[in-house]
Amino acid sequence: MRAFDCPVCHGFVTFESHRCPNCQAALGFHAPSMAMVATTAGTAVVDGRRWIGCTKTTDLGCNWLVPEEQPDHASRGRCLPDSLIRREPAADDTIAREKLVSTAVDLRRLAFQLLDLGLPVEPFWRADGGLAFDLLSSYSAGEKVVSGHERTSRNALRTICTSPTRSIPCARLG
């Protein structure tokens, strides 16, 4: 993962930072520039356009910014990586929801790295066969959940088991 700097004091900040540890400036990740930007009350203006925090900031700890007026309504106010999550554990499955936070961090890191390499990240809601992640738990799904992917040329679905213990098996397909 690339190192980032605070746009205010130019100190080191991590990719997941919401605040600069040096100057306490509020931060957000701006994907088009692949950089951290300073925010005020959760918003930033970049190149004359207003950006707001992803709707998954509170429950998944996301620090990515999205355009205030998103052209893609299907993204539901989520940043690109969080909008790839098609299904997630039920709200009352607190153990799986805790695991979901770290899984979402990993998903944002993956999306960043793919974008940084110039690879396309086409979400399921934008294109038939686009990338989707089902982050499920055997507890809340009511059935055995397996990790893996569907092997069809038109489907880019990834299923990740968020089972909190080893007592519930997670099988890897393929």
Largest CA distance in the chain: 52
Q: Who contacts 122 (Cβ-Cβ below 8 Å, separation ≥6)? A: 130, 131, 156
pLDDT digits (tens, 9 = 90+) for 40-51: 999 999 999 999
Please, are residues 65 and 108 in contact by the beta-carbon 8 Å criterion?
Answer: no
How many other CB atoms are there within 10 angstroms of residue 120's CB atom? 9
Q: Who contacts 155 (Cβ-Cβ below 8 Å, separation ≥6)? A: 129
Question: How many whole angstroms separate alpha carbon 164 and alpha carbon 139?
Answer: 9
Please, are residues 76 and 85 in contact by the beta-carbon 8 Å criterion?
Answer: no
In 48-147, at which residue ranges do the beta strands (DSSP E only) sit? Answer: 49-53, 65-67, 85-87, 131-136
pLDDT digits (tens, 9 = 90+) for 113-150: 999 999 999 998 888 888 988 888 776 656 676 666 55
Q: Which DSSP symbol is given to 40?
A: B
Please report which confidence band the pLDDT of residue 156 belongs to, taking 50, 70 and 90 as the band edges. Answer: very low
pLDDT digits (tens, 9 = 90+) for 66-90: 998 876 655 678 999 999 998 888 8
The helix (run of H) or strand (run of E) holding residue 139 is helix 138-141
Most confident listed range (39-48, 91-100, 160-169): 39-48
